[in-house]
Structure 1
Amino acid sequence: MTQFRMLPVRCGDAYLLKSGRGAYLVDGGSLAGFLPEMLHERTIGKLRAAICTYPSPERLGGILDLMEERYRVSEYWLPDWLGIMPMLAQVFNHDWEKWFELCDWPLPEELIVGGVAVPSSQQGAWAENAAILVALGVVACSGRFTMGGSTQHILEKSLDVLAEQASGRVVGTPGGVRQTLQILGRGFRDWGSTEENVLLCGRLLYHAAMAMTGNETKPQKNVTMGLAMAVMGIALTAGVETKIRYFRQTGQLENSLVARHPFKIVNGIEITSWETVPKTVSPETLFSAASRPFGRGKGLVLRYGDAECGALFCGDTTLSFLNKNNALLLNQPTVIAAPRQGGISADHAYKYILSVNPENNIWVRSHYSYACKVSNSFKKSPNKMCLNNCVHRTVQEVLLAFSDTRWDWLAGGGCICD
C-alpha cells in the first residue's frame, strides 16, 4: 500500500511517501521542528531518501536535524547550492572592506591597520571554507571581525562573539535557559571537535538571524541565515557515510529520472561533476549567493510514480517552465502538493497540469500565512486538503492511502480556506 502524509511541521513543507519501494521524505520543515521524533512516532525506521527541494530554512532545516540526529537514511538529495557555497568560500578574494560595506557596518580598526591571513587547518579544506563562511556571517549579524590565525582560532573567536550575542538575548527572559539549550542542540557528542564547533557556529548564526528585525536589516538577515544554513550543511556532511546526491534546478522541463528510484526531477538534473569555479570571487558574488535561499519560485519539482498511482511535489516554484507546449500530463490518480503552498503567485500554472481523470486527483497544501490569499485554481479543485484549518486556526496531519483505483482519506479534512 502506498501512503502519503503531510507532517504537521511548524512551518514549511514536510511530505512522507511510503510504498513498497521504501519511505521517502520530501522536505523537512524548519530547524528544531521535531522531525526525527515525528518519524519515530510513525514507525519510520529508515528512509530510503531524504530530499530537500530548496535550501530555504523551512525546507532544509528538518533535513539538517535528521543529519544531526544521525537518523537512518540511505541517501540525501540536496540542492547544488549546498555544494557550491564551500567552493565559493575557498576562492573568496578576502576583500573584507567591501564585505563590511555590503553588510552596512563600519570598518573595524584591525582591518584599517593591517591585512587578513587566510586560515589554515589540519582538518582539510572543508574546515577552512567553513571558518570563512562563519566569519562572513559574524560580520553580517554583528559587525565584528573574527578572521586571522588558524581555523580553530577563527571558530573560537566567532563562538565568543555569537555566544555573547545569544546570551544577551535570552538572559533574564522567560525560558532563557531552555532557549540557550535549544540553540546548543542535542547532537554534540565530541564537544570541542572542529565539526561540533562549526555546527555550533551555524546554529548561533541561525538564531542571530532570527533575532534580526525590521526592513532595514533584511539583507543582512537573509545573508546571515543563508550562511548559517551553509555552515551547518558543511559540518553535518563532513565525513558522513550516507550517500549524498546534488541536484540543480535548470528552469526547464527536464523529467530526468533519478537512478534506482521511482522519481523524476521535473525541472532539474543531478550533478555528476561540478563545474569549474572562478579563480576568485568578489564579496558581491558571495553576498548574492548567500541570499539565494530567499529567492522565490526557484525550487525543484519532483514526481513519483508507479504502475498504479503517483505524487507531484511542486514545492517553492511558480512552474514558469510550463506552457501549452510543455505541460505535465498525469495519467494515474495523483496527489499534487500545490505550487508555492497554494498561493496566488503560481495561479497560472494549474492549467498546464493536465490529467486524464482529474476527479481522481487530490490537491494538498501545507503551511501558508493566514494573511495571504489562496489560489483560485486551487480552490476550484474537486478534491483538496489543507494542513491548516483556516477557520479554527488548527493544524491537522493529512494521511492518504492508495487502494484499488483511488486515494482514500484516512486523516485530515478538506480545505475550507478563503
Structure 2
Amino acid sequence: MTVMEQRGAYRPTPPPAWQPRTDPAPLLPDAEPYRVLGTGAADKVDPELLRRLYAELVRGRRYNTQATALTKQGRLAVYPSSTGQEACEIAAALALEERDWLFPSYRDTLAVVARGLAPASALTLLRGDWHTGYDPREHRIAPLSTPLATQLPHAVGLAHAARLKGDGVVALAMVGDGGTSEGDFHEALNFAAVWQAPVVFLVQNNGFAISVPLAKQTAAPSLAHKAVGYGMPGRLVDGNDAAAMHEVLSEAVARAREGGGPTLVEAVTYRMEAHTNADDATRYRQDTDVEAWRDHDPILLMERELTERGLLDDDMKRQASDDAEAMAADLREHMNQEPVLDPMDLFTHVYAEQTSQLREQAAQLRAELEVASEEAEEEAR
C-alpha cells in the first residue's frame, strides 16, 4: 500500500477548471497608454529627474546617429538603430539599482550605455570583434545578442535564484514586439508568474518585427493584455514619454523587489529608422506613416514639458548637446582604431575547461597559424 492509498492520506483537490485562480481585473492594463508629460501628473515628477532624462535622451539620439554613420564607414557590420525609442531604453536603465540585472536585446545599446557601459563596448558585438565586449558580471548586464527572446528565460532564471537567496535583486528583461511571437516569451512569462520571480518584462512595441506589422503577429487587444493569461499585471505605457516609462518601470521594479512577482510592461513606440542599415523599410511602410510619429518624438515631448515649466533654457540645451558630441567624438576615436585580434581567443571563453573536441580544434588552428606565419616570413625575405 502506498502512502496515498492509506486512509486519511492528504489528497490535494485542484479547483474546477472553470474557476479562476486569480482575479483578472487588477491585472488588466489601462485602455489607453499611460502618459505623464503634458498632463497634471508631470507636476509631481522631480525636476532633476526630468532634466536627467532629457540629457540622456539627447545623448542616446546622438549615439544612434553616430553608430549609423559608423556602419556607412565600414567600422560596424550592422547597427539596429533605436531612434524614436530612446525613452524606453533610458528609462529601463535608470529604473534599476546597481545590484539589479539588465537583460537587453540586440537593439538596446542605449540602455546598456545609460547603465554605465562604455559606449564603444556596446558596439563590439556589432563590429564582429567579440561575442560580448564586456564582462556581464562586472556590469550586471547580460550579453547583447541577436537571437530573439532567448534572454527572457535567462532573466527569469537569475531572478528566481535571487528570490531563493533573498538578496533583493531584480532582473529587467527587454524584448521587441517580434520577440513576443517566440516560444521563449511564453516560457519565460509562465515560469516567472508560477515562481513569482522578481523580474520585469519590457516589450518595446515599435510597430514592426522587421517587416511584419503587429496585426499579423497577434489578435490580442494589446501585448500588455497577454500578461493576464500568465497571472501577472500588464501595463500599457506611452513608450515615447520618458517620465511615464520611468514611473511605471520603477513601480514594477519595486513591486518585484518586495515579493509581488513579475510585471509585463508594453511600451507603445515607433521605429523611426529601418530595422538595421541592411533593411529597406520603404518596401513595407510609407514615409507618411513615419512622419506622423515625428510630432511624438521623445526628445520633443520632453523639451516641451521642460520649457513650459521653465526647467530648460538655451544653456542647458547647449550643455546636453555638447556632452552628446563629446561622447560621439570619443566613440569615433575608439571605433577608428584597428582592433588587435587573436584567433585563438575563439576557444578561450567557451567552457571553463575545454572539451577534447575544442582542444583538438585549437591545436589544429594553432598549427595552421604557425604555417601561415612561416610562409609570410619566407615571402618577406
Whether these two folds match at TM > 0.5 is: no
State the TM-score, normalized to the length of structure 2: 0.21
Q: Normalized against structure 1, the TM-score is what?
A: 0.20
